[in-house]
Amino acid sequence: MHILIVEDDRPIAENLYDFLESQGHQCDFAPSLAAASSLLKSEQFDALILDRGLPDGDGALLASRLRSEGNFVPILMLTARDTLNDKLAGFDAGADDYLAKPFALKEVEAWLQALQRRAGGRAAAERLSFGPLAFDPAARAATLAGAELALPPKALRLIEVLLQQPQRVFARRELEIAIWGHSQESSDNLSETAR
């Protein structure tokens, strides 16, 4: 899943980012509504984690705007605003689900996967394959000639990206961005991913 984390509290954003990346997801981070809007114009996301209290406004405004533009990307509001009225306002703005802080990281991922299944997104997509190599997005598992491969999350993400366009030749930078969200300083990182 490609996830946009819209959160101004950097430690919370980093915890979410690190955990979700370790589970094989690709993440981007925006500390404000303006930064999120810019990323949403240039990137396609499978889900948004959206805080309400941002430095330049309420995250509910972004949810409302996306829905009015016909963008139905699944939105999980993750916020300290936990009263019933806050939750209802979030749902009215277009949130698909609402989780109050504090939260468990595994719970956030479970909510995101549930939202993807409901939306019929990539997590529920048919498996990808080319020759004997196959990848199941829902199970986050790769097989070779029917035998499951024991691979780390980033290697699984690499297989997923390559199998989406199996006949295409990718530039190293494209793969680095797909796996880490940015190009890497060390040229050995991509080689290390496959180990």
Report the CATH number at residue 78.
Answer: 3.40.50.2300
**pLDDT surpassing 50 at residue 124:** no
Residues 89 and 16 in one domain: yes
Between 20-24, 54-58, 170-174, the lowest mean confidence (pLDDT) is in: 170-174
Predicted confidence at residue 140, as pLDDT, reads: 78
Residues 186 and 163 in one domain: yes
Residues 67 and 137 in one domain: no
- Rg from Cα positions in the chain: 17
Residues 110 and 29 in one domain: yes
| Domain count for the chain | 2
> For residues 194 and 158, is the Cβ–Cβ distance under 8 A?
yes
Residue 109 CB coordination number (10 Å): 17
Residue numbers of the domain that contains 83: 2-122
Predicted confidence at residue 16, as pLDDT, reads: 94
**pLDDT surpassing 70 at residue 177:** no
Read off the pLDDT band of 39 (50, 70, 90).
very high
Residues 106 and 154 in one domain: no
Domain finish residue from 122, 154, 178: 122
Predicted confidence at residue 42, as pLDDT, reads: 87
What DSSP element (H or E) covers 14? helix 10-22
Domain finish residue from 122, 149, 171: 122
Predicted confidence at residue 156, as pLDDT, reads: 84
**pLDDT surpassing 70 at residue 178:** no
Residues 12 and 69 in one domain: yes
Domain finish residue from 107, 122, 137: 122
Residues 78 and 101 in one domain: yes
**pLDDT surpassing 60 at residue 183:** no
Residues 111 and 24 in one domain: yes
Residues 30 and 59 in one domain: yes
Residues 61 and 99 in one domain: yes
Predicted confidence at residue 10, as pLDDT, reads: 93
Residues 38 and 134 in one domain: no
Residues 48 and 107 in one domain: yes
- How would you write 51-120 as a 3-class SS string? CCEECCEEHHHHHHHHHHCCCCCCEEEEECCCCHHHHHHHHHHCCCEEEECCCCHHHHHHHHHHHHHHHC
**pLDDT surpassing 50 at residue 123:** no
Mean pLDDT calculated for residue range 52-72? 91
> For residues 73 and 66, is the Cβ–Cβ distance under 8 A?
yes
What DSSP element (H or E) covers 21? helix 10-22
Determine the residue type at 122. Answer: R
Half-sphere exposure of residue 8: CA atoms within 13 angstroms, side-chain side: 15
User: Looking at residue 161, which CATH number applies to its domain?
Assistant: 1.10.10.10
